[in-house]
Amino acid sequence: MRSSLQRRAPTLLRTISRRSQYEAAIISNAPRPAAAATRPAAVAPQKRWHSSVNADEISHFNALASTWWDPHGSSRALHLMNPLRHDFINTCRSTSLSSSTTVTPEPNSQPTAGQQQQHQAPKLRYLDVGCGGGIFAESAARLPSTHSVTAIDAAPVIIQVARQHASKDPLLAEPTKLRYINTTIENLASTLQSSPEGSKFDVVTLFEVIEHVDQPANFLSHLSNHVKPGGWLVLSTIARTWTSWFTTNFMAEDVLGIVPKGTHDWNKYINDDELRGYFSKFADEQGWDLSSLMVQGVVYVPGLGWKEVQGSEKVGNYFLGVQKKA
């Protein structure tokens, strides 16, 4: 229903006219009128109006679960992008490490810079929100520099797939390394209350999720409770532009077929300046260090995969990282 060009064009036009209203919605924590209005209320969960969870989205992702780990299946684009997420997180963390601590190299050994950090820095606790089948969560759990990964998703079938897949790797079988929880961001705090891991994390990640949630501002403020002082929130999403509509909805879903049809609702895309706006508005209340905020655009090149491209955050997929004040 959201797949054909003919059906899409009117929506697009409608959305343009609604844009200012939509921007206001993001900043003001109010429910999103545009997204809610264009969706059928088919599988309405209870208390939908209080929750960031969009039932449509969840059933869409549940349906993709079985092919999540097929390297040529529905999530190939995410698999290909995954290494860049680690590169971006490293970039974010290395800027804050170099400014706050001076690393003195040991005289006799000459390990690489990454190795030195791994040896000296305490191991990291990750929270991966909207983890899907666990592409990022698994990879983070495998890193020698990781203490543990907590990964949550609102789709129950997907969490099942994620758990099942993790059991194929003995490295992830250690119960403390990687755990999956089927919960919403709203309920996470109470779920983690008695957890020995605590409910605050060094790195909170949100990859290709925010464009799928209702009330993104609400969602982000819940998230911010789980970022440690000095910790990072790192997310990736797609800018809402003509180009991104063309590349993700038309090219990626319809022409290239690298993303399953119906995955994207262009109405819900968020531009980097809208997110910047959010973080500056709540900088004091939530403790964000605005000087740390970083944005990196990435472009999918058929045949080559994802490439970092300066300035492309304005037209398509991008990463954003922001640190909490220590």
Partner 1 sequence: MAAWHSPLGPSPHAACSSKSNILPISAVMDLLIRKRAAGYVCRSCTRQVQREIRLRRSYSSSARPDIYDVVCVGGGPAGLSLLTALRANPVTSHLRIALVEAQDLSKIKSWKLPPDRFSNRCSSLTPASVRYLDQIGAWHHLDQTRVQDYHEMQVWDGVTDARIEFDTLSSSPTSGPDTTIAYMTENLNLTSGLLKRLEELGGVSTYDNAKVEQITLGAEHPESNLDLREWPVIHLSGGKQLHARLLVGADGANSPVRSFAGIQARGWDYNRHGVVATLALEEQDFPTHQSFSPSGKIAYQRFLPTGPVALLPLPGNFATLVWSTTPENAALLKSLPPKEFIAMVNAAFRLSPVDLSYLHSPASSGTPKEEEYSWRMEHTHINPLSVPQTIIGVQENSIASFPLKFRHADTYIAERVALVGDAAHTIHPLAGQGLNQGQGDIQSLARTISYAVEHGMDIGTTMALESYLSERYAANHVVMGVCDKLHKLYSFESGPLVGLRSLGLRAVNGWEGVKSFLMRQASGGGSML
Pick from 36, 63, 143, 181 the residue near partner 1 by CB under 8 A. 143
What letter does residue 316 receive in the DSSP assignment?
Answer: S
Q: Provide the total of helices (H) and of strands (E) in the chain, helices listed first.
A: 13, 8
List of E strands, 120-193: 124-129, 146-153, 178-182
Distance CA 318, CA 326 (A): 26
Q: Which tokens go with 79?
A: 């698999």
Question: Is residue 260 part of the contact set for ligand SAM (CB under 6 A)?
Answer: no
Question: At a CB cut-off of 8 Å and minimum separation 6, what does 169 contact?
Answer: 138, 142
Pick from 84, 124, 131, 188 the residue near ligand SAM by CB under 6 A. 131
Pick from 10, 40, 107, 144 the residue near partner 1 by CB under 8 A. 144
Quick one: which segment of 97-105, 174-182, 209-217, 293-301 binds ligand SAM (CB under 6 A)?
209-217
Map tokens 């264009």 to a residue. 38
Question: Is residue 168 part of the contact set for partner 1 (CB under 8 A)?
Answer: yes
Residue 110 CB, shortest distance to partner 1, in Å, is 9
Distance CA 51, CA 48 (A): 5
Find which of ligand SAM, partner 1, none residue 50 binds, CB within 5 to 8 Å per kind.
none
What is the DSSP code string of 104-121? PPPSS----HHHHHHHHS
Using CA atoms, how far residue 323 sits from 23, 207, 286, in Å, is 23, 16, 11
Q: Of 152 and 293, which CB lies nearer to ligand SAM in the complex structure? A: 152
Site for ligand SAM in 75-104 (CB under 6 A): 78
Q: Of 138 and 272, which CB lies nearer to partner 1 in the complex structure? A: 138
Residue 181 CB, shortest distance to ligand SAM, in Å, is 10
Give Cα 243 distance to the centre of its chain: 21
Residue 85 CB, shortest distance to partner 1, in Å, is 9
Distance CA 137, CA 278 (A): 26
Radius of gyration for the alpha carbons in the chain, expressed in angstroms and rounded: 19
Question: Is residue 79 part of the contact set for partner 1 (CB under 8 A)?
Answer: yes
Question: Is residue 53 part of the contact set for ligand SAM (CB under 6 A)?
Answer: yes
Query: Site for ligand SAM (CB under 6 A): how many residues?
Result: 22
Instruction: Give which of 73, 69, 44, 68 is closest to 56, Cα–Cα.
Output: 44
Question: Is residue 114 part of the contact set for partner 1 (CB under 8 A)?
Answer: yes
Residues annotated within the binding site are: 85, 130, 153, 207-208, 211-212
Residues annotated within the binding site for Mg(2+) are: 208, 211-212
Residues that bind ligand SAM (CB under 6 A): 52-53, 57-58, 61, 78, 130-132, 135-136, 153-155, 158, 184-185, 207-209, 212-213
Residues that bind partner 1 (CB under 8 A): 71, 79, 82-83, 86-87, 111-112, 114-115, 138-144, 164, 167-170, 173
